[in-house]
Structure 1
Amino acid sequence: MAQQEGLDPDREDQVHRTTTVEQGRFCVAHCVCGWRGPARRARSLARTDARGHATEP
């Protein structure tokens, strides 16, 4: 997966934009800052991981 350039994960004002990606039987949450969640069998868990990341300080 390609990362967007110019994003600094240490910046506090950066907006985290997350998506989920299907990988076979698994679903993985990704963010434009480069973060990736664990592979999950349940899409709902991947979405929960993404929401948790987006609200982290």
Structure 2
Amino acid sequence: MAQQDGLELPPHPPEHRTTTMERGRFCLAECTCGWRGPARRARSQARTDAQRHAAG
């Protein structure tokens, strides 16, 4: 195997930990990677957004 000096592996991708939060009448999902879902009136839809993000 050839030696490859100076080559580093890319950083491990961040683990996706999502939460939902309420802002007034709206609920939105956020992730530790910096992603934010759209504001939703239905909490269930915000949770679905978070699940889709974490899975994909």
Same fold per TM (> 0.5)? yes
Query: C-alpha distance in 2, partners of 1:12/1:49?
Result: 24
Unaligned runs of 5+ in 1: 1-10
Regions of 4+ moved over 4 Å: none
Q: Who wins on radius of gyration, i.e. which is larger? A: 2
RMSD of aligned Cα (Å): 1.8
How many residues are treated as equivalent by the alignment? 47
Match of 2:43 in 1: 43
Q: Secondary structure in 2 aligned to 1:47?
A: helix
Output the TM-score relative to the length of structure 2: 0.76
Letter in 1 for 2:51: R
Output the TM-score relative to the length of structure 1: 0.75
